[in-house]
């Protein structure tokens, strides 16, 4: 029985032998050590990114929650079970099996269990061991590509937009392999919510920040964009307070809410620009002016409410697009250039046309940052 086990290294083999649909079991301590005792998921769940997520998200302080649960879709539930203020058991289990696993884990004798991480690290078979990133180009590239697959897997399917909008497209282009940008979508009974987020940092730093922001977005109860963004920043401030002082997540966002019945649109932004084009002639740009604090609960917000007409357009974009230099490397595209680019599309509003116009502007000039564009036509 699990309550008779006295070492954390015994838990993984016990669970794996008892339940076939256990995919992953590991232990984490505030000493920043991760030991893996069972791993059937392999590269489908990038273990290096997961290890860093544990260290940055859980931190070294006690978290006043018994369990943290992340939904990994077809892979099941990833759950963090707090054994003591400093020690956690981490499990990926089939969704149908999860309630049983949770019940079994609760029977662990938390007073007596020993986190024998160093012994377990030595005893772990090579095929289930977390591999450290080796100091070679091949090893680094392999891990980056695996993390890229993990990051892209959290991007939503946008096909539902085709039911409520005449046209839509997205453009997602990291400066490097990994991106500090994400876009997000949620459909409720009455509304469609879309978000474009631009996290501070590029490559691995930015990618890890997007994971935190995505997790917060998935957990909030969306209402109007202003209160929703305010709630996100409050949760982000709490998350940052648990991290080391040298690491915090900072993000600019824009959220749009579209009412399915009335067509009313509500927009709020903390820094990601939102271009609204009325017909073929008029346009307005919603953006934040001046300095912005995007890692705290008091982030500045700008908002607008409007009723859109057929043919009106909404374009959310990150600053990688704004900062992109032209093919001579002399001028940045800027908000003015972006406005002209989209205004010139008229009846040919499409992702292909945007990519052609942007490629013509950019030429062979190096990309200046992560770029994300989410464009909607009523």
pLDDT single digits (tens) 285-330:
998 876 566 666 678 899 999 998 899 999 999 999 999 999 998 8
Mean pLDDT within 32-48: 57
Give residue 44's pLDDT: 45
| For the chain, domain boundaries | 2-128, 155-377
Q: What is the pLDDT of residue 79?
A: 75
User: What distance in Å separates the CA atoms of residue 198 and residue 210, rounded to the nearest whole number?
Assistant: 8
pLDDT tens readout for residues 237-279: 887 877 665 567 889 999 999 999 999 999 999 999 999 999 8
- The pLDDT assigned to 59 comes to 45
Burial classification of residue 367, based on how many CB atoms lie within 10 Å of its CB (0-12 exposed, 13-18 middle, 19 or more buried): middle
Choose from 87-101, 236-250, 364-378 the range with maximum mean pLDDT: 364-378
pTM equals 0.65
| pLDDT over 60 at 106, yes or no | yes
Q: Using CB atoms within 10 A of its CB, is residue 244 exposed (0-12), middle (13-18) or buried (19+)? A: exposed
Mean pLDDT of 70-99: 73
Percentage, residues of the chain above pLDDT 70: 75
Out of 125-129, 204-208, 244-248, 359-363, least confident range: 125-129
Q: Which CATH class is domain 155-377?
A: alpha beta
CATH level 2 (architecture), domain 2-128: 2-Layer Sandwich (3.30)
* Better-predicted residue by pLDDT, 57 or 115: 115
CA 269 to chain centre: 18
Quick check: 335 and 363 in contact, CB under 8 A?
no
Q: Is 183's pLDDT higher than 90?
A: yes
């Amino acid at each position: 029985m699990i309550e008779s086990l006295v070492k954390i290294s015994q838990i993984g083999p016990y669970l794996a032998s008892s339940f076939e649909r256990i995919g992953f079991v590991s232990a984490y301590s505030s000493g920043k050590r991760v030991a893996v005792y069972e791993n059937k998921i392999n590269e489908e769940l990038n273990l290096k990114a997961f290890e860093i997520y544990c260290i940055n998200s859980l931190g070294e302080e006690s978290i006043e929650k018994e369990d943290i649960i992340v939904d990994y879709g077809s892979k099941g539930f990833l759950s963090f079970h707090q054994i003591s203020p400093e020690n956690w058991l981490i499990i990926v289990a089939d969704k149908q099996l999860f309630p049983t696993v949770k019940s079994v884990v609760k029977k662990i004798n938390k007073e007596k269990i020993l986190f024998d991480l160093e012994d377990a690290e030595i005893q772990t078979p090579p095929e289930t061991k977390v591999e450290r990133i080796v100091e070679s180009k091949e090893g680094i590239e392999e891990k980056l590509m695996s993390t890229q697959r993990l990051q892209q897997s959290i991007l939503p399917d946008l096909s539902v937009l085709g039911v409520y909008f005449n046209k839509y497209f997205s453009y997602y282009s990291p400066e490097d392999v990994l991106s500090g940008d994400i876009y997000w979508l949620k459909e409720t009974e009455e509304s469609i919510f879309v978000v474009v987020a631009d996290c501070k940092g590029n490559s691995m730093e930015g990618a890890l920040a997007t994971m935190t922001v995505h997790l917060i977005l998935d957990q909030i109860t969306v209402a109007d964009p202003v209160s929703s963004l305010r709630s996100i920043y409050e949760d982000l401030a709490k998350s940052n307070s648990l991290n080391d002082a040298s690491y915090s997540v900072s993000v600019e966002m824009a959220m749009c809410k579209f009412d399915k019945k009335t067509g009313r649109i509500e927009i709020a932004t903390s820094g990601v620009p939102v271009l609204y084009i009325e017909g073929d002639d008029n346009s307005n740009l919603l953006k934040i002016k001046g300095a912005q604090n995007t890692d705290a609960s008091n982030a500045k917000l700008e908002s607008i409410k409007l009723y859109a007409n057929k043919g009106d357009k909404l374009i959310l974009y990150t600053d990688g697009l704004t900062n992109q230099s032209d093919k001579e490397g002399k001028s940045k595209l800027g908000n003015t250039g972006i406005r002209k680019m989209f205004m010139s599309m008229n009846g040919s509003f499409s992702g292909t046309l945007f990519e052609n116009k942007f490629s013509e502007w950019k030429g062979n000039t190096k990309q200046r940052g992560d770029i994300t564009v989410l464009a909607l036509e009523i």
